[in-house]
């Protein structure tokens, strides 16, 4: 299957983008279904969204990512009104006294790969074919922009009641800490516009081609599902990934804590994995996969994706249930995350796991 570069996004593209976003979201980023509906409605009202190569943005242009912040578990019960993200973007424009030239996805995952499309359609803006993570991570400072010394602030947060506020902090980690507390006060979830940057800054910091990749992954999953095949084998060859495990979910420990969905799940092996057991640790996203004797088989920043064993449908951390038959899939992360700065931001030690980062291809 040829890789297509996205030029525009219409309603017919949203199914694939939602599927691909859920896959690259490594269990996090929120359920893309809600964002898909919002994007489809916005495109229906305002027409297709133009997708830009970041190199096409003027160096002095203004580029802004928009996103959902909070615990994905909350979004299952507390749906957005639909205008929070555009309100956040408009408030940021007002604060800066400058119009946005393009928006983009802060992460390649779930809801946060679909909500920016809705905002682009509503604001009649193009969206950049790129993102700040190449997957999903749970905290605001965990983006490629931080590695390139781009500030998260000024940042605007908005909720469904019409509240919005501007944050200015000393560094990106402080932005995360303050914004997380506000998110909890907003009821566990808020919509945000942040990391306002110039076109020149976007060119050096954005991970390129994410939306096209999401769309192509979604297309593979969709077409394989139509043929009643699990897409894992096709994805393994296409993305140079690895099937880590197949089994049945035996236990899920999940809690909403401090603005995150945290926990772990145990999976008992099936077929050739019979008699084996692994556990997955998550904080919004899957961050660690380890065997029963605590030997790691994959760890952050590499991608750990959970798929339904029969259908290949990506499963998010808030959806996992006892009895699910699942396939655990692993992928190498963007090379930037394997640098010293990258591992300080998103390596296993940052999350409190007592492991030295080992690339997934060396573990398997």
Pairing of strands 189-193, 62-70: antiparallel
Specify which residues 164 forms β-bridges with. Answer: 158
DSSP secondary-structure letter at 318? Answer: T
DSSP secondary-structure letter at 12? Answer: G
Which domains does the chain carry? 8-210 (3.40.1610.10), 230-363 (2.40.390.10)
pLDDT in tens, 330-360: 999 999 999 999 999 999 999 999 999 999 9
pLDDT at 189: 85
pLDDT in tens, 273-305: 999 999 999 998 999 999 999 999 999 999 999
Specify which residues 243 forms β-bridges with. Answer: 329
Alpha-carbon distance of 214 to 207, in angstroms, equals 13
Alpha-carbon distance of 310 to 337, in angstroms, equals 32
pLDDT at 1: 44
Residue pair 304/297 in contact by the 8 Å Cβ criterion: no
> Of all helices (H) and strands (E), which one includes residue 212?
helix 210-226
pLDDT at 77: 62
Distance of CA 85 to the CA centre of its chain: 16
pLDDT at 101: 97
Within a 10 A sphere around the Cβ of 138, how many other Cβ atoms?
25
pTM of this prediction?
Answer: 0.93
What SS3 class is residue 137?
coil
pLDDT at 229: 87
DSSP of 60-126: T-EEEEEEEEE-HHHHTTS---S-HHHHHHHHHHHHHTS--SEEEESSSSGGGGTHHHHHHHHHT--
Reading the chain (364 residues) residue by residue, the pLDDT tens digits are 457 899 999 999 999 999 999 999 999 877 778 889 999 999 999 999 999 999 999 999 999 999 999 866 666 566 666 688 899 999 999 999 999 999 999 999 888 999 999 999 999 999 999 999 999 999 999 999 999 999 999 999 999 899 999 999 999 999 999 999 999 999 888 999 999 999 999 999 999 999 999 999 999 999 998 898 889 888 999 999 999 999 999 999 998 887 788 899 999 999 999 999 999 999 989 999 999 999 999 999 999 999 999 888 999 888 899 999 999 999 999 999 999 999 999 999 999 999 999 999 999 8
User: Which residues contact residue 112 at a Cβ distance below 8 angstroms, ignoring those fewer than 6 apart?
Assistant: 21, 25, 29, 30, 35, 67, 68, 105, 106, 136
Alpha-carbon distance of 225 to 312, in angstroms, equals 7
């Amino acid at each position: 299957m040829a890789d297509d570069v996205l030029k525009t996004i219409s309603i017919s593209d949203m199914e694939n983008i939602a599927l691909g976003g859920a896959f690259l979201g490594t269990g996090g980023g929120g359920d893309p279904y809600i964002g898909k509906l919002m994007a489809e409605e916005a495109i229906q009202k305002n027409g297709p969204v133009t997708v830009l190569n970041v190199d096409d943005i003027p160096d002095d242009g203004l580029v802004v990512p928009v996103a959902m912040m909070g615990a994905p578990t909350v979004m299952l019960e507390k749906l957005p009104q639909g205008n929070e993200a555009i309100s956040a973007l408009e408030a940021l424009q007002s604060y800066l006294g400058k119009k946005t030239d393009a928006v983009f996805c802060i992460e390649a995952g779930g809801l946060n790969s679909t909500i920016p499309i809705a905002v682009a359609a509503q604001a009649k803006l193009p969206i950049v074919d790129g993102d700040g993570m190449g997957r999903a991570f749970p905290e605001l400072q965990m983006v490629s922009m931080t590695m390139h010394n781009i500030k998260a602030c000024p940042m605007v947060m908005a909720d469904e009641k019409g509240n919005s506020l501007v944050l200015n902090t000393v560094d990106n980690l402080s932005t995360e800490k303050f914004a997380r507390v506000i998110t909890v006060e907003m009821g566990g979830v808020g919509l945000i516009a942040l990391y306002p940057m110039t076109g020149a800054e976007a060119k050096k910091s954005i991970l390129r081609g994410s939306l096209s990749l999401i769309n192509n992954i979604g297309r593979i999953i969709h077409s394989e599902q139509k043929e009643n095949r699990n897409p894992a084998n096709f994805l393994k060859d296409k993305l140079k990934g690895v099937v880590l495990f197949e089994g049945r979910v035996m236990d899920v420990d999940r809690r909403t804590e401090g603005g995150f969905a945290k926990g772990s799940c145990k999976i008992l092996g099936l077929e050739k994995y019979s008699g084996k057991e692994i556990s997955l640790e998550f904080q919004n996203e899957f961050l660690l996969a380890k065997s029963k004797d605590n030997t790691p088989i994959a760890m952050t920043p590499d991608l750990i994706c959970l798929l339904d064993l029969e259908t290949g449908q990506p499963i998010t951390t808030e959806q996992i249930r006892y009895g699910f038959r699942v396939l655990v899939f692993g992928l190498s992360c963007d090379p930037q995350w394997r640098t010293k700065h990258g591992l300080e931001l998103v390596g296993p030690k940052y999350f409190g796991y007592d492991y030295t980062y080992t690339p997934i291809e060396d573990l398997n």
